Amino acid sequence: MRRLNLALSLLAFALAAPAFAQEPPSRPPLHVMMCELVDESGTGWVPEFLMFTRQDSGPHTGRIEVFDPILKDLVRRPIEAVITADDARQRSYGWALGGVRNHSRQYAERVDFRLTVGKADGSAEMVVTAAGYQNIMRGHGHCASPPQ
């Protein structure tokens, strides 16, 4: 139930953003993809839920944004994500945070997030690395887009 409430809150946040509200009602202003992941690292750096949006028109056409509980806590808004790889089988997205502390107060100059999504089945793998630390945090799950 907590995940569903979080998913609905994140979707409502994205849909209510001012840039999206200016779109004509006859055409969906953005594409949405939601992902559920299991944090196999146990560190809390792999979010249990992510939402991506891509604007279809307007001044930011093609812009991809990501939002999750980590971003909600640290920056309180979606941030831009970029496509880092794209082929017939899968697409990878990347984004980063700078100058952050985890719940144990450990500092990282930069934390890189990479999500790879299988095009055929929506399978997802996340890899998170923190500058200055040797461990690689991983999570697996599934991504899907709601019907439009």
Q: Is the pLDDT of residue 88 over 50?
A: yes
**DSSP annotation of 73:** H
Give the residue extent of every domain in the chain: 2-19+35-144
pLDDT score recorded for residue 59: 67
Q: What is the identity of the amino acid at 81? A: A
131/111 Cα distance (integer angstroms):
6
What pTM value is reported for the model? 0.78
Mind listing the pLDDT tens digit for each residue in 17-63? 444 444 445 555 778 999 999 999 888 889 999 999 988 766 667 88
Contact yes or no for 83/92 (Cβ under 8 A): yes
